[in-house]
Structure 1
């Protein structure tokens, strides 16, 4: 999947001093997730339902 035109957003809990950060981008029918420190690295692509489940699981951890 070509993500060159994706608009990435840093996670709201990310800090400006580096640390563990992720970015997400909404692309047609899916959500892309990547490490903000390695924007040219790999991305995880999941559908919207799985993304909602992932967020719910993380919030309840």
Structure 2
């Protein structure tokens, strides 16, 4: 499955998906991430056939930086 978004050509057919090492043993609230060329794909681990979110490396870096800085802490 190849498509274009955000100026990136993304082919998810050979994506290698992984979950966080911090995911719980039950995997109740987990997402899977795949680094596909210049794109980062994110999907629900319980429903991998559902929609997949695609981020550019800049968007992903901003998200990870914000998480590390506590921007999303309640």
Do they superpose with TM above 0.5? yes
Q: Give the Cα–Cα distance (whole angstroms) in 2 for the partners of residues 18 and 30 of structure 1.
A: 24
Offset at 1:16? 2.1
Where does structure 1 differ by over 6 angstroms across 4 or more consecutive aligned residues?
none
Q: CA RMSD in A?
A: 1.3
Q: How many residues align?
A: 61
Segments of 5+ residues of structure 2 without an aligned counterpart are 4-10
Report which of the two structures shows the higher radius of gyration computed on alpha carbons: 2
- Residue ranges of structure 1 left out of the alignment (5+ in a row): none
TM-score by length of 2: 0.72
